[in-house]
């Protein structure tokens, strides 16, 4: 009886938090409600006996994805007032698309049929003294090892494709060349000039002041002891 009460409590909080994700005005509040929804979904997994999926949901989605969403929303300077300015104009289109999706869901649920052997499969015996995590790992890495590796390759190709599409060589972009910076010598950036006394302006190519405004006399120790300037 108590697990049933917990199920309805967690399910109700999950539904309310999921509705607040799409209805909250502040995007930061939406991400926080999303984190709450993930925690309640993890609690439902624990009640169903899938503790491994519950921990993965908390670690991956709450600890990585939701926190990433939160940082992105807080760091981006988005004018949400201007973003919602055309809400009423696109409201009929949104209602039409929602009605179509609702009709499709009705068709799917209307044709739903429960298999007679579903009840017996739900009560299928499992190996004794073997945890759920061990059974899931054995199933993934024995029976479905090739499909598991294929899904990993698909994700790898998707990651490489995203990097290739976003990282383009542009003439305006600046890239850091570490090898060139390390191999740079002082002769590449510095030039030593042997400037005679009282002739620095002429040697450096700087125009002299006008005759009516003579330049001030240089100090006695204005030049370096070796007579050179950088």
Query: Which of these three, 151, 167, 183, is where a domain ends?
Result: 167
Residue 165: other Cβ atoms inside 10 A: 8
What's the whole-number mean pLDDT along residues 202-224? 50
**Average pLDDT along the chain:** 78
Number of folded domains in the chain? 2
9: domain range?
1-79
- Residues facing residue 194 across a β-bridge: 228
What pLDDT digit, counting tens, does each position of 135-169 carry? 888 888 888 899 999 999 999 999 999 888 877 66
Q: If pLDDT is split at 50, 70 and 90, which confidence band does 190 have? A: confident
Residue 97 is assigned to a structural domain of this protein: no
Q: Are 35 and 66 in contact (CB under 8 A)?
A: yes
Instruction: State yes or no: pLDDT of 12 exceeds 90.
Output: yes
Q: If pLDDT is split at 50, 70 and 90, which confidence band does 200 have? A: low
Residue 112 is assigned to a structural domain of this protein: no
Residue 31 is assigned to a structural domain of this protein: yes
Dihedral sign from CA coordinates of 213, 214, 219, 222 = positive
Instruction: State yes or no: pLDDT of 230 exceeds 60.
Output: no
Residue 91 is assigned to a structural domain of this protein: no
Identify the pLDDT of residue 101.
Answer: 92
What are the DSSP calls for 54-99, one per residue? HHHIIIIIIIIIIHHHHHHHHHS---HHHHTTTHHHHHHHHHHHHH
What's the whole-number mean pLDDT along residues 100-114? 86
Instruction: State yes or no: pLDDT of 15 exceeds 90.
Output: yes
Query: Which of these three, 30, 59, 79, is where a domain ends?
Result: 79
Q: If pLDDT is split at 50, 70 and 90, which confidence band does 84 have? A: low
What pLDDT digit, counting tens, does each position of 35-57 carry? 999 999 999 998 888 888 888 88
Residue 64 is assigned to a structural domain of this protein: yes
**Residue for token digits 């049929």?**
113
Residue 183 is assigned to a structural domain of this protein: no
Q: Are 54 and 28 in contact (CB under 8 A)?
A: no
Among residues 34, 55, 43, 52, the alpha carbon closest in space to that of 7 is found at 43
Instruction: Report residue 99 as tokens.
Output: 């009605």
73 and 1, same structural domain? yes
What pLDDT digit, counting tens, does each position of 109-127 carry? 887 777 777 666 665 556 6
Instruction: State yes or no: pLDDT of 66 exceeds 80.
Output: yes
Query: Which of these three, 62, 79, 96, is where a domain ends?
Result: 79
Identify the pLDDT of residue 127.
Answer: 63
Residue 2 is assigned to a structural domain of this protein: yes
Residues recorded for the chain = 230
Instruction: State yes or no: pLDDT of 228 exceeds 70.
Output: no
Residue 49 is assigned to a structural domain of this protein: yes
Instruction: Supply the CATH number for residue 60's domain.
Output: 1.20.120.1200
């Amino acid at each position: 009886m108590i697990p049933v009460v917990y199920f309805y409590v967690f399910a109700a909080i999950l539904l309310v938090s999921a509705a607040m994700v799409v209805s909250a005005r502040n995007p930061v509040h939406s991400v926080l409600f999303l984190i709450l929804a993930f925690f309640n979904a993890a609690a439902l997994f624990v009640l169903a006996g899938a503790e491994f999926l519950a921990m993965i949901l908390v670690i991956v989605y709450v600890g990585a994805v939701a926190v990433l969403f939160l940082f992105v929303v807080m760091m981006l300077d988005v004018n949400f007032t201007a973003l919602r300015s055309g809400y009423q104009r696109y409201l009929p289109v949104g209602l039409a698309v929602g009605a179509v999706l609702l009709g499709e869901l009705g068709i799917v649920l209307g044709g739903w049929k429960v298999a007679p052997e579903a009840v017996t499969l739900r009560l299928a015996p499992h190996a004794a003294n073997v945890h759920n995590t061990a059974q899931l790992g054995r199933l993934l890495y024995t029976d479905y090892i090739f499909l598991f590796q294929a899904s990993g390759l698909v994700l790898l190709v998707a990651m490489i494709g995203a990097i290739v599409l976003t990282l383009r060589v542009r003439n305006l972009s600046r890239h850091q060349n570490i090898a060139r910076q390390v191999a740079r010598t002082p002769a590449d950036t510095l030039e030593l000039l042997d400037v005679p006394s009282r002739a620095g302006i002429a040697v450096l190519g700087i125009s002299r002041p006008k005759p009516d405004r003579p330049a001030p006399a240089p100090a006695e120790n204005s030049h370096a002891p070796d007579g050179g300037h950088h």
